[in-house]
Structure 1
Amino acid sequence: MIDAAWLNPGIAFIVGILLSFKLRKISARVQSRRGPLTWLPACWHDINKSKVLQPLYDILKLFSKQTIIPHTATPLFIAGPYLALACAIAATLFVPVGGASIDYPFSLVILFYLLLFEILFIIVGGISSASPFAAIGGVRETELLLANEIPFILGTFALAITYGTLSIKDMMGFNLLVNPFAALAVLLAILVKLHMKPFDIPEADSEIVGGLTTEYSGKLLGVLETTKMIMVFVLCALFADLFLWVPSSGIYAWAVFLTGLIATCLVLGIINSLFARFRIDQATRWLFKIPLLVSVLAIGWAVLWRYVL
C-alpha cells in the first residue's frame, strides 16, 4: 500500500490553489473591494462561474502562452524555475499533511535546505536573464534572505530544544502556548519567504516591474507561479503543524490540520492587506532588530522550559 506521504505534493497543489484564492479574498474584503459572487444559482451559470479556481486558471493560461527567452539569458534561466519547483515539491514530503510525512530524525534540517535552495534557484535563474530589474530584485532577495534566515532557524530550533529532536513530527503540538516567541518569529519569517507585505520588496511592481521574474513568460512563469502556490501551502502547513496541532488521528487529524491551515492563512492575509511595503533598508534593519530579538527570546524560553520548569 502506498505511503500517504507520497500524496502530499498533489494535496499541496490542490490546497495551495484554495489558499491562494483565500488570500485574494481576504485582501478584497479588508480593502472593501466587492468582486463577482463566489457561488451563483444554477440559472446564472452562463453569466459567471466560481472564482475559487481563478489561481488555477491563471496558471493554465500561462502554460498556453509562448515562452520568450531573452537572448542574453544563460541555460540557468530555464533550469532555475524547474529546480525551484523540484525543491518545493520535495519540501511537501517532509511537512506533515494531516499527520502524514516522510519522517527522518533530522527532517527539520532537510526542510531548511530545501526552502533555502528553492529561493536560491529562483535568484540564480532570474539574474541569469541579465535584466537590470532582475539584478536589483536579486540583490533585495539576497539581503532579505540573509536577514530572515536567522530568526526562522532560531524560531524552529527553539522547539527542537524543547522536545529534544529534529524530527518535525515529534515536535508537533499546540506550541503557540508552549513558546509564543517561537510562533511569532516563525510567522514573521513566513511573511518574508512568501513576499507578503510589508516584505514584497524583491518583486515591487511599481519599482522594478517584477524583480527576479521580470523576464519570465509563458510556461516558465507558469512553473514559478506553481512553485509559489505550493510554497504558500508548505509554509502555512509548517506553522499549523508546529504551533497549532492538537494530537489526533483519522478524520479528526484532517479537521485539525485544515483548521490550523486556514487560521494561518487568515492571519497572513490580514497582515498582507493592512501594511504598506518597507524599503529594503527599513526591512533589513527591522528584521535584524525585532524578529531576531524575538527568536533569541524563543531560544531562551525553550531552554528555560526544558531544563528549569
Structure 2
Amino acid sequence: MRELFPLTVSLITPLLDGVARKIRARIQDRIGPPVLQTWYDLLSLLEMESIRPVESATFRIAPYLAFGSALTMLFLIPWGEETPLRTPANVIAFLYFFTLFSASVVMGGLSVRSSYTASGASREISLSMVFKPAFAVVIAVLALKTGSLDIASIARSVDFSPSVVGAYILLIYLTYVEAGFIPYDIAEAETEILGGVLSEYSGRALAVFLWAFQVKRFAMLWLLSAMLVLPFASGIGALILQSLAVLTIFVLMVVYESMNARYRVDQALRKGAKALAAGSILLVLAFAGW
C-alpha cells in the first residue's frame, strides 16, 4: 500500500505544474493555459518519436536515469507513518539519488556537441558545486543532532536547538533552490540558452526529462514538509498535514517565483557560497552541542 503513494504522486506532478502556470499567469494579469496544459504537453510529446542528434547511449539513457532518480527520492521520504523504502541510512540514499539526478542532467547535456547544452551542463555543474554540499551539510546538522540517518527518525527527534533552527531556515531556502524555481532555473533558462541541457531533446525523451524535473521538485517539497510536520504529528493526521504543507509551500514559492527575474550564474554562485558558509557554521555549532 505504501508503495502506491510515490507512484500516484508522480502522476499528479504535471497537474501541479499546471497549477503553477495558472498562478503565474494570474499574478502577471494573464489568463494563462488550462491547469491540464502540462499533461497535454507531455502526452503530445510522448506520442512523438525522439530525434537523436547523436548516437550516444548516454544521450538516450540520461532522461530515464533522471526520472528513476527522482522517483526513487520519493520512495525514500516518509509519507506520514510510512516510508516505502525505509533503511537504517535512507538519508544517505536520498543524497545519492539527489546527486545522481543532477549528474544525469549533466551527462545528457555533455553528450551532444551543442553550445546550448554545454552551457546548461556547465551551469548545472557550477550550481551543484555549492548548493549540493550546502544541502548535505544541513542534513548532516540534523543527523548529528538526532543521532540518526533515517529521515523519519531525524524528523521526529529534532530538539530545535540554535543549530537545528538555523538548519531548518537554510533547508527551506535550499529546497526552493533545488526545486528549480526562478531565479535558480539557470541550467535550463529557456529565454537565454533555449532550454540548456534540454535543447537537443525532443519527443518521448524530452517528455521524460520534463516529467523528471517535476517529480524531483515535488520530492524536495515533500521532504521539507516531512521535516516540518513529523515533529508534531503522527498517523493519518501526519499524512494529511504533509499534503497541506506541500500545497501551501508550493503556492507560496510559485508566488515568490513570479515576482523574481532569473539570476546570473555568478549571482547564484555567490548566494550558494554564503549558504554553504552558513551551513558550515551551523555544523560547528551542532558539534559544540548548541
Same fold, TM-score > 0.5, yes or no: yes
Alignment match of 1:13 (pick from 7, 10, 13): 10
Measured after TM superposition, the shift of residue 172 of structure 1 is: 1.7
8 Å contact 1:176–1:183 — kept in the other structure? no
Please give the alpha-carbon distance, in whole angstroms, between the structure 2 residues aligned to 1:299 and 1:25: 40
Deviation at 1:94, TM superposition (A): 0.4
Matching of residue 113 in structure 1 with residue 96 in structure 2: yes
Which amino acid in structure 1 is aligned with residue 235 of structure 2?
S
Instruction: Return 174-183 or 56-65, whichever deviates more.
Output: 174-183
Residue from 249, 263, 267 that aligns with 2:235: 249
2:49 is paired with a residue whose SS is coil
2:30 and 2:285 map into 1 onto residues whose CA distance is 42
Select 1:220's aligned residue among 180, 199, 205.
205
Unaligned runs of 5+ in 2: none
Shift of 1:210: 0.7
Tell me the CA shift for residue 176 of structure 1: 11
| Matched-pair contact (CA < 8 Å) for 1:20–1:55 | yes
Alignment equivalent of 1:211, drawn from 182, 189, 196: 196
Counterpart Cα distance in 1 of 2:228 and 2:217? 17
Q: TM-score, normalised by structure 1?
A: 0.85
Q: Residues 99 and 29 of structure 1: is their aligned pair in 2 closer, same or farther, counting only changes over 3 Å?
A: farther
Alignment of 1:213-292 (within 5 A): 213-245=198-230, 246-250=232-236, 252-289=237-274, 291-292=275-276
Q: Which moved more, 1:263-272 or 1:103-112?
A: 263-272
* Counterpart residue number, 1:74: 56
Q: Percent identity?
A: 28
Q: Report the counterpart of residue 279 of structure 2 in structure 1.
A: 295
- Which of 134, 138, 155 is matched with 1:155 structurally? 138
- Equivalent runs, 1:48-63 vs 2, <5 Å: 51-63=34-46
Deviation at 1:303, TM superposition (A): 4.4
Alpha-carbon distance in structure 2 between the residues aligned to 1:268 and 1:128: 33
Q: Which residue of 2 aligns with 1:89?
A: 71
After alignment, is 179-188 or 216-225 more displaced?
A: 179-188
Residue 31 of structure 1 pairs with residue 22 of structure 2:
no
Q: If the length of structure 2 is used for normalisation, what is the TM-score?
A: 0.90
What 5-or-longer segments of structure 1 have no aligned partner?
37-50
CA contact (8 A) 2:15 2:39 kept: no
CA distance in 2 between partners of 1:34 and 1:186 (Å): 33
Q: Contact (CA 8 Å) 1:106, 1:167: kept in 2 or not?
A: yes
TM-aligned CA deviation for residue 174 of structure 1: 9.7
- Change in CA separation of 1:174 and 1:26 when aligned onto 2, cut-off 3 Å: farther
In the aligned structure 2, how far is the partner of 1:227 from the partner of 1:275?
Answer: 24
| Matches for 1:179-198 after TM superposition, within 5 Å | 179-198=164-183
Name the CA distance, whole Å, in 2 between partners of 1:244 and 1:300.
26
Post-superposition offset of 1:79: 0.9
CA RMSD in angstroms, aligned pairs only: 2.2
Alignment check: 8 A CA contact 2:229 2:238 kept = no
Q: 1:63 and 1:243 mapped to 2: Cα distance? A: 36
Task: Give, in angstroms, the shift of residue 158 of structure 1.
Answer: 1.6
Q: How many residues align?
A: 286
